Chains A and B, each alone.
Chain A
Amino acid sequence: GENVEQHPSTLSVQEGDSAVIKCTYSDSASNYFPWYKQELGKGPQLIIDIRSNVGEKKDQRIAVTLNKTAKHFSLHITETQPEDSAVYFCAARISISSGSARQLTFGSGTQLTVLP
């Protein structure tokens, strides 16, 4: 089955700096890669996703890049703010040819702390 590795497990940055979180996946059939942000006491919130036919996607201060050859995707947050502090999870999903979506495989999570 799919295996997703996520690094680093913890990341501290100064407010205004950039943060990068990296994930690698094992199954080349994976074609959908969402990122979730989970604040303390809340459920995961989908913040951005990318599909395998795209190399990069941006939404304001957040961007995701995908390298299918290396089976690697990354989350980039620019101009970080204290409210960006949370746990971030990457995930990967395979969609099989029968039309049924397979389920998400999550990375282990990154605790991001933005220091004021």
Chain B
Amino acid sequence: DTEVTQTPKHLVMGMTNKKSLKCEQHMGHRAMYWYKQKAKKPPELMFVYSYEKLSINESVPSRFSPECPNSSLLNLHLHALQPEDSALYLCASSRAGQGKGNEQYFGPGTRLTVT
């Protein structure tokens, strides 16, 4: 099973709202990722967690706050977003480290609209 699940599927929020995106995997993967994808563009890496510790933050604004409560769950907390933050937010997971077997699998994404 290579399934990564994400909730909600769609989210509309105002610029003053606080919301959270959730991601879950049960593949035993210890690396989890948040990506942002704009229409007709490739995914753009935001954060990487490795063994539940934040290992990469690609200079993402502080209005995006990631959290990894355990090895299966990844959250992205959203606060005071801007309309330009509207995008598809993708979660992915993989084994940590290099070598065979650390393919990255994506979830279906959360379509976020900021009004």
Whether the Cβ atoms of B106 and A43 lie closer than 8 Å is yes
> Please, which residues of chain A bring their CB within 8 A of the CB of B102?
101
Whether the Cβ atoms of B109 and A42 lie closer than 8 Å is yes
Bound: A46/B93 CA distance, A: 12
Indicate which residue in B45, B100, B106, B111 contacts A36 across the interface (CB closer than 8 Å): B106
Per the CB 8 Å criterion, the residue count for chain B at the interface is 30
Does any Cβ of B come within 8 Å of A89's Cβ? yes
Bound: A103/B31 CA distance, A: 11
Does any Cβ of A come within 8 Å of B43's Cβ? yes
Whether the Cβ atoms of A103 and B48 lie closer than 8 Å is yes
Bound: A36/B92 CA distance, A: 13
Q: How many A-B residue pairs have CB under 8 A?
A: 57
Does any Cβ of A come within 8 Å of B11's Cβ? no
> Please, which residues of chain A bring their CB within 8 A of the CB of B6?
43
Whether the Cβ atoms of B98 and A106 lie closer than 8 Å is no
Indicate which residue in A34, A100, A106, A108 contacts B97 across the interface (CB closer than 8 Å): A100
CB-contacts of A68-98 with B (<8 A): 87, 89, 95-96
Q: How far is the CB of A4 from chain B (nearest CB, A)?
A: 9
Residue from B43, B50, B97, B103 with most neighbouring chain A CB atoms (10 Å): B43
Q: How far is the CB of A107 from chain B (nearest CB, A)?
A: 7
CB-contacts of A12-67 with B (<8 A): 34, 36, 41-46, 49, 51
Residues of A within 8 A of B (CB): 34, 36, 41-46, 49, 51, 87, 89, 95-96, 99-101, 103-104, 106-109, 111
| Sampled A-B contacts (17; CB under 8 Å) | A36-B106, A42-B108, A43-B6, A43-B107, A44-B106, A46-B2, A46-B105, A89-B43, A95-B99, A99-B97, A103-B33, A103-B45, A104-B45, A107-B42, A109-B40, A109-B41, A111-B40
